[in-house]
Structure 1
Amino acid sequence: MKKLFYLLFFAAIVFVGCKKSSFESVFDKNPEERMADAISLVNTSLTSSPNGWIATLPTSAGGGYGFYMSFDANQNVIMYSDISDAASTTPATSTYRVTTGLGAMLAFDTYNYISVLQDPKASVYGGTQGSGFSSDVEFTYVRQNADSLFFVGRQYRQPLVMVKATAAQKASYVASAYKTTIDKLKSFFTTNKNPFIEIVSGTNTLKVGVTPNLTNTLSAGKRLDLTGVLADGNTVVSSGQKIASNIDGIDILGTGLIWQGIKFVRLRWKDATTLVLIDGSGKEYIIKNSATPLVPLYQLWGTKYTGMLSEYKTIYPGTSANGAVILNYYHNGLVPPTQPYTFNYGRINFVWNTVNKRLTVNGFSSQNGGTSGWVTATVYSYTVDGAGVYKFTSNAIASGGYVAIPLSKLDTFLLQNRVTFDYHVDGANVYAKVTSVEDPSTVMTFVLQ
């Protein structure tokens, strides 16, 4: 019995000893020391690239943006950006600091081009009043590899990625070549109105339209879309992603732009005149140009285009004499005697709701040149056949505003005619063309929106 007692006592001692060692810290430094090491690591990394960094940052509410940054040991950063022509050629110098947050945190603590994206005044850059583009100026350090640093925005959780620049890239940014690169891209897509790439799908070669938006518009700018018709000839597939310009072309942000299983990651110049879209495996797709848009217009309502516009007293190329009569009845009828009020500006907007198969025609009228005004809305339901022929019926008669009478000829046209929608190409401009099936001599053209 006594022997058993000693054995149990010895086992207890061994157990306690093992239990104590299992709670020993696996770190050789305390939390304060580890945080100091992390801050030192980030500071050293930022200043270790002699040619600076090429950075990209998507915004939560808007598109993506590109930057060149050079950090020094005195906590100054020199920055260029694609947010504007001026920012791409004029360096902005501000201060930064690396401090503690949920880990080491890079903070841009004086105003610079990254701060512009956070500016709460809508008048500064066009963001939402109070929140700008929903972007950050404080970024938590995530990780790094041989040539890149990775951070994430503290509030909006958008990734700030920095890649070491080469000496040649630094020289190009400093020499204002950034703007030259951006201008060249804009010129390419201005000249090539209907750019596309070819993708082999089984036995078919699909033509997929490439649509970049290099503006800073909050809802649509700094993005790239791919739109194409699948092999069945009817199914339209469109996908998009945020982009950022750099000295070599365009980077597609996030997880890339995925179209039918292919992930596209960047646009680059193959030579002086050939632009290519590159997928994740490095395969190049030459961007070509079509004389006319690739996808029938009626298949793009509600996806690529939300509607059409007839601007004040503007008759666009391709409108027939009969069509001009209908449009001018509105534009010239914004003054008596057509109706009792005098307006000095007005336009017609067509807005599609493809989910509910409705078209709303808004007649806007103003007495102060368009700064403010009134809207008369008419709602139509519609059916469309496989050939793209539309038949409209009344859903809600003209209401609100003051211009139901000037809109009446257009209303009669839509209710008494079946119509088709197509493109009208006039030089570098592409318009929406509406043609009556019953009377093909009645044609109206509009600005696509």
Structure 2
Amino acid sequence: MNFTIFKKYTLSLLVTAAALFSCEKDYDRVFSETAEARLQKALDEYNAQLQSAPHGWKASLITGSGIEYFYYLDFAADGRVSMLSDFNPGTAGTVQSATWELKALQTATLSFPTYSYIHLPADPKGGVNGGPDGVGQQSDFEFAFARTTADSILLEGLQRGARMTLVQATAEEQELVLKGRIKDILAYGLSGDGLQLTLGDDRTITFALNPDAKRLTAQYISDDGTRVEVTPRAYSVSMQGILLNTPIRAYGQTIQELLWDDTGKRYYVKTGSTSTPVIQNPDLYFFHPSIPIQDMLGADYFAVLVPPGSAQKPLRGQSPRFTELYQALAAELQTWEVPIELYDMFVGFDVSTNTMYLVVRVIQNNNVFWCQYNYKYTLSADGIYGFGTNTAAEDNAKAIAPLMADLFTYIDNSSFKVEFVGGTEALTGGFFSQGNPEFYFSGYLTN
């Protein structure tokens, strides 16, 4: 054996080992704390920051479904958090005390253990938040800390990928939100009266607010005057009012937000240097484009659909009398030996034969059945339909005909004026009885 070479190899290995041990010592000096200690330090820092906002936090929660909610949060040292939310007028006006805690999971995590306003968008029951059953609005109630600054915190949901941004509130903002500013903004838009903006010369825009979908829908006459435009926009709520994600452009004006007038307690729109109020109008508003609705029925659109749920939540343009009869029909169908659910109703038009089809769709044992009644009709030049007597088209229609009798009393051998009804979430047609003014109904134009 060549001892000289062996000694050189041995010396080389010793030098390498020494270098490695030296690196290991350097490594220990850089990470002198354990991973657990570092995580606990981060938790302590986050805990201090959450409680450091003297006037609480404004929070924006964007769910996995894209819905944005406003929250006001005030974290206390005893593990309680006071909160308000724009989820609905109730949650915006009633301060809720819930629990919060920081957890050392795979990362520092902010958790809201007890059911609270934070949980409402995440509730898997679609009836709670308007989302699909099983997932709700795809939100979270446990969040990892993604980034912080001196006055803001960005959180990311652990399960559904929701994102929450917290920004320290000012003393003025805290006072406004606790005095009900967010509640007032929501309540005005959800009063049940139509929201209407008139820019002059009868240039009217109607608005409909959907708090579940966080969607505002505007309706107005098109630039060429021939049709009714329907423009839905996602919105978020702020201390200033309703902020649209994308502006509405109508009548040569651009509308980015519905601002809140705290003195007049109503919305207004700023166009240039002019402030125009958005009023609540309890009366129905009708649009009159140059192409009237009767020219579209049976041509551009086959039917007017009374949508599902109208018995419980009447569409704008449905009279109390119609709603009463429609609810009675739904209740009677439920009393059958095998209960039947009233799903929807539509009236369709065949202009080639002057036939109107009144179709009631029902559900029994998860099967949908059509109950169809045929009417002959006349149409005057000023848009008044005259309906004859109904004829049941098949056995299903004959079976429920006795339950339809009260509705038939108002429809058979009666005349109706048809109108474009504003203030809804889709293009809407209304039928207004000429002989019985207390009876009218409306639905979405559809094919």
Contact 1:360 1:378 in 2 (8 A): yes
Contact 1:307 1:349 in 2 (8 A): yes
Query: Which of 188, 203, 216 is matched with 1:224 structurally?
Result: 216
The residue type paired with residue 268 of structure 2 is: V
Which position in structure 1 is the counterpart of 2:396?
400
Output the TM-score relative to the length of structure 1.
0.57
Q: 1:286 to 1:158 in 2, by over 3 A?
A: farther
Contact 1:114 1:137 in 2 (8 A): yes
Query: Which of 53, 58, 62 is matched with 1:49 structurally?
Result: 53
1:107 aligns with 2:107: no
- Take 1:274 and 1:144, find their aligned partners in 2: how far apart are those partners? 36
**Partner secondary structure for residue 51 of structure 2:** helix
1:81 aligns with 2:82: no
Output the TM-score relative to the length of structure 2.
0.58
- Take 2:50 and 2:194, find their aligned partners in 1: how far apart are those partners? 41
Deviation, 1:423, is 7.1
Q: 1:350 to 1:72 in 2, by over 3 A?
A: same
Summarize deviations over 1:187-245 as a string: whole Å, max 9, x none.
Answer: 5764853412539xxxx98432122234xxx5x5x432222222211243323344455
1:286 aligns with 2:286: no
Which position in structure 2 is the counterpart of 1:272?
264
Which position in structure 2 is the counterpart of 1:15?
none
Query: Which of 411, 430, 433 is matched with 1:432 structurally?
Result: 430
Which position in structure 1 is the counterpart of 2:418?
421
The residue type paired with residue 187 of structure 2 is: K
Which position in structure 2 is the counterpart of 1:196?
197
Q: 1:410 to 1:170 in 2, by over 3 A?
A: closer
Contact 2:287 2:421 in 1 (8 A): no
Contact 2:60 2:70 in 1 (8 A): yes
Contact 1:212 1:223 in 2 (8 A): yes
The residue type paired with residue 372 of structure 2 is: T
- Take 2:40 and 2:172, find their aligned partners in 1: how far apart are those partners? 34
Deviation, 1:120, is 3.1
The residue type paired with residue 55 of structure 1 is: A
Contact 1:207 1:294 in 2 (8 A): no
Query: Which of 170, 178, 181 is matched with 1:166 structurally?
Result: 170
Q: 1:424 to 1:380 in 2, by over 3 A?
A: same
Which position in structure 1 is the counterpart of 2:6?
none
Query: Which of 209, 214, 236 is matched with 1:212 structurally?
Result: 209
Summarize deviations over 1:77-115 as a string: whole Å, max 9, x none.
Answer: 3222243555432322211326566x7654334432212
Query: Which of 234, 243, 248 is matched with 1:252 structurally?
Result: 243
- Take 2:367 and 2:247, find their aligned partners in 1: how far apart are those partners? 40
**Partner secondary structure for residue 400 of structure 1:** helix
Deviation, 1:69, is 0.3
The residue type paired with residue 234 of structure 1 is: T
Superposed CA RMSD: 6.0
Contact 1:198 1:206 in 2 (8 A): yes
- Take 1:398 and 1:349, find their aligned partners in 2: how far apart are those partners? 18
| Structure 1 stretches lacking a partner, 5+ long | 1-27, 336-340, 367-371
Which position in structure 1 is the counterpart of 2:440?
446
Contact 2:194 2:206 in 1 (8 A): no
- Take 2:67 and 2:147, find their aligned partners in 1: how far apart are those partners? 24
Deviation, 1:165, is 1.6
Q: 1:228 to 1:90 in 2, by over 3 A?
A: same
**Partner secondary structure for residue 271 of structure 1:** coil
| Structure 2 stretches lacking a partner, 5+ long | 1-28, 313-317, 350-355, 423-427
- Take 1:232 and 1:115, find their aligned partners in 2: how far apart are those partners? 47
Q: 1:82 to 1:173 in 2, by over 3 A?
A: same
**Partner secondary structure for residue 160 of structure 1:** strand
Q: 1:379 to 1:50 in 2, by over 3 A?
A: farther
Query: Which of 346, 349, 354 is matched with 1:351 structurally?
Result: 346
Deviation, 1:431, is 10
- Identity among equivalent pairs (%): 20
The residue type paired with residue 80 of structure 1 is: L
Q: 1:227 to 1:156 in 2, by over 3 A?
A: farther
Which position in structure 1 is the counterpart of 2:228?
236
- Take 1:287 and 1:276, find their aligned partners in 2: how far apart are those partners? 5
Deviation, 1:362, is 0.9
